């Protein structure tokens, strides 16, 4: 497998990749001495590459992806993935991963540096001193002690900033829709809504991704809700704070001091009005710019790329659920079951499916079932579309116009845990298959088809049919399959005495010929059947 290192990462990370058996590592600047990561240069090297490591310089656009048919993994050494076309990568089934933890401390410390510079005007005083002045009275400040800090976004970085604020005897308010009360209590902070952060905080710092919901989250209306003399900081993503609104708030005195490391457009324009605001400290996107952080993210992304390409766990993926090794070990038999059920239902149902419903019952509801959802969808799409994997299966299902619904049920069931996949069709009919794990070895088995109890394998060839519950069917099928030289491995029958019908599943060693299938269907007691390949 060929790996392209397109941007400069830790030499330790590069060496790690080179040591992996079966890997051929191409270091871009060694192959092309004047390497500038231009699209033309990238296209020269990426044609037969399966994994690529980038930082922020190299753009992995849709055009680049189009000329890289073997590409499976794009690893970003850092947090932001603005330089990667996520949609195009997802469409192709390419895993996009980053390293959100590698620069956590560096970014948290830079945030606190900005907060301190906004408290004591160090940068301005230093510039004054170098200009030959002694403006001691002009640069008095205030203290962090006893002040209230509002943190928007309590992920890794936000939590680290909160810890440092508490050490400075600050009260911390946190706004994060995903923050639990128990997590807030453990950190010693108070969970509140955004309006309370805005109105009650002396200091505000943002640590959220830039999305449609967070773009201009801090705008004119937000500034109007803040205290006079508030101090504001952004070391997360440009665009969360509306720059024009911030500039006006500083000029009016609403904001006493501010610090930015990220901007709506980077690099910051030379004529930006932000450069002329004395109470605003600016740094050129230095969040991860420490020796330790650079080393950490480079090594981390090298390990992640290697693990993903070698079939191990996928960590910190942007476009699919990430699974750690311990969770993967627990989930593995369920993933096999889920893929089989998805494929089984797709082959059982007519082509007019409009909705897919996955229902989890019993002990399995306590697990993270997102990877299992992907396994079901991967199985369902397996025979419909080429190159389907966990990354692009949901998108491909959506492109077919099929809705997905997942349910975690607490109803009692015959089994301690059950996975049910149901295909709802345009004509109102449904086709359903359920499965569970058997024994200490957790052997996945199909245990129900359209509500009829059966027991069937999750691999191989299955002949599934509905027939009138009359004598001679098993013998007839044995004869017909025998004439076709098809061996029966096992069979499972389910009788419905009320309606007089039966559902039967035969596990076969090979697929019956078209003639044998036609002869089977001629039997007046056999209503319908499917050959299902798992």
Query: Which residues participate in catalysis according to the annotation?
Result: 237, 266, 285
Q: Which candidate, 137, 139, 143, 140, places its Cα nearest to that of 125?
A: 139
Q: Which candidate, 225, 283, 227, places its Cα nearest to that of 253?
A: 227
Token pair, residue 493, equals: 């029958």
Q: What SS3 string covers 91-132?
A: HHCCEEECCCCCCHHHHHHHHHHHHHHHHCCHHHHHHHHHCC
Q: Which candidate, 263, 245, 262, places its Cα nearest to that of 254?
A: 245
Residue 277 has phi, psi (to 5 degrees) of -95, 110
Provide the CA 478 distance to its chain's centre, in angstroms.
48
Cα separations in angstroms, 201 against 158, 175, 234: 15, 12, 15
Question: Do the Cβ atoms of 249 and 255 come closer than 8 Å?
Answer: yes
Residue 446 has phi, psi (to 5 degrees) of -85, 130
Token pair, residue 261, equals: 């490391």
Residue indicated by tokens 């319908």:
528
Residue 481 CA to residue 144 CA, distance in Å, equals 83
Question: Do the Cβ atoms of 331 and 366 come closer than 8 Å?
Answer: no
Residue 94 CA to residue 100 CA, distance in Å, equals 19
Give the DSSP per-residue string, 176-210.
-TT--HHHHHHHT-EE--HHHHHHH-SEEEE----
Question: Do the Cβ atoms of 204 and 198 come closer than 8 Å?
Answer: yes
The DSSP symbol for 513 reads P
Cα separations in angstroms, 493 against 320, 448, 459, 501, 510: 39, 11, 18, 11, 20
Q: Which candidate, 179, 153, 149, 176, places its Cα nearest to that of 164?
A: 149
Residue 116 CA to residue 127 CA, distance in Å, equals 16
**Going by DSSP bridges, is the β-strand pair 230-234/203-206 parallel, antiparallel, or unpaired?**
parallel
CA-derived radius of gyration, the chain: 30
Residue indicated by tokens 């003399």:
229
234 forms bridges with which residues in the sheet?
206, 260
Residue 123 CA to residue 343 CA, distance in Å, equals 63
């Amino acid at each position: 497998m060929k790996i392209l290192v397109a941007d400069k990462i830790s030499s330790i990370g590069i060496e790690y990749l080179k040591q992996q058996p079966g890997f051929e590592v191409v270091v871009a600047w060694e192959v092309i001495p004047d390497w500038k990561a231009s699209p033309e240069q990238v296209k020269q090297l990426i044609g037969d590459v399966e994994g690529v490591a980038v930082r922020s310089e190299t753009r992995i656009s849709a055009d680049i992806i189009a000329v890289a048919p073997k590409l499976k993994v794009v690893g970003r050494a850092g947090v932001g993935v603005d330089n990667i076309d996520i949609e195009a990568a997802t469409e192709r089934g390419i895993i996009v991963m980053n390293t959100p933890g590698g620069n956590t401390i560096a970014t948290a410390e830079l945030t606190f540096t900005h907060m301190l510079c906004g408290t004591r005007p160090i940068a301005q005083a230093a510039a004054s001193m170098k200009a030959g002045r002694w403006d001691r009275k002009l640069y008095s400040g205030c203290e962090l002690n006893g002040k209230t800090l509002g943190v928007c976004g309590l992920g890794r970085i936000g939590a680290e900033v909160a810890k440092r604020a508490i050490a400075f005897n600050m009260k911390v308010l946190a706004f994060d829709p995903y923050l639990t009360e128990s997590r807030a209590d453990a950190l010693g902070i108070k969970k509140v809504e955004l309006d309370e952060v805005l109105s009650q905080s002396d200091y505000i710092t943002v640590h959220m991704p830039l999305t449609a919901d967070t773009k201009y989250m801090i705008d004119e209306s937000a500034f109007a809700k803040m205290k006079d003399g508030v101090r504001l900081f952004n070391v997360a993503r440009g665009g969360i704070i509306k720059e024009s609104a911030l500039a006006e708030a500083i000029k009016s005195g609403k904001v006493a001091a501010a610090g930015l490391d990220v901007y709506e457009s980077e690099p910051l324009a030379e004529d930006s009005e932000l450069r002329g605001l004395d109470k605003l400290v600016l740094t050129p996107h230095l969040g991860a710019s420490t020796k330790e952080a650079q080393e950490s993210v480079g090594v981390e992304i090298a390990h992640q790329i290697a693990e993903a390409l070698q079939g191990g766990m996928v960590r910190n993926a942007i476009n699919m659920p990430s699974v750690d090794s311990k969770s993967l070990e627990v989930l593995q038999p369920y993933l096999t079951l889920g893929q089989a059920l998805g494929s089984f239902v797709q082959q059982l149902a007519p082509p007019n499916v409009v909705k897919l419903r996955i229902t989890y019952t019993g002990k399995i509801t306590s697990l993270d079932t997102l990877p299992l959802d992907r396994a079901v969808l991967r199985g369902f799409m397996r025979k419909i579309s080429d190159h389907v994997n966990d990354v692009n299966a949901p998108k491909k299902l959506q492109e077919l116009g099929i809705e997905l619904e997942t349910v975690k049920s607490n109803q009692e069931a015959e089994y301690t845990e059950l996975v049910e996949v149901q295909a709802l069709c345009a004509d109102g009919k449904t086709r359903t298959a359920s499965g569970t794990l058997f024994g200490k070895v957790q052997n996945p088995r199909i245990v129900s088809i359209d509500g009829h109890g059966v027991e069937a394998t999750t691999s191989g060839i299955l002949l599934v049919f509905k027939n009138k519950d009359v004598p001679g069917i098993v013998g007839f099928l044995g004869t017909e399959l025998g004439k076709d030289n098809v061996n029966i491995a096992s069979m499972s029958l389910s009788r419905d005495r009320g309606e007089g019908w039966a559902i039967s599943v035969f596990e076969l060693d090979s697929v019956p010929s078209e003639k044998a299938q036609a002869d089977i269907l001629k039997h007046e007691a056999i209503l319908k059947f499917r050959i299902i390949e798992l």
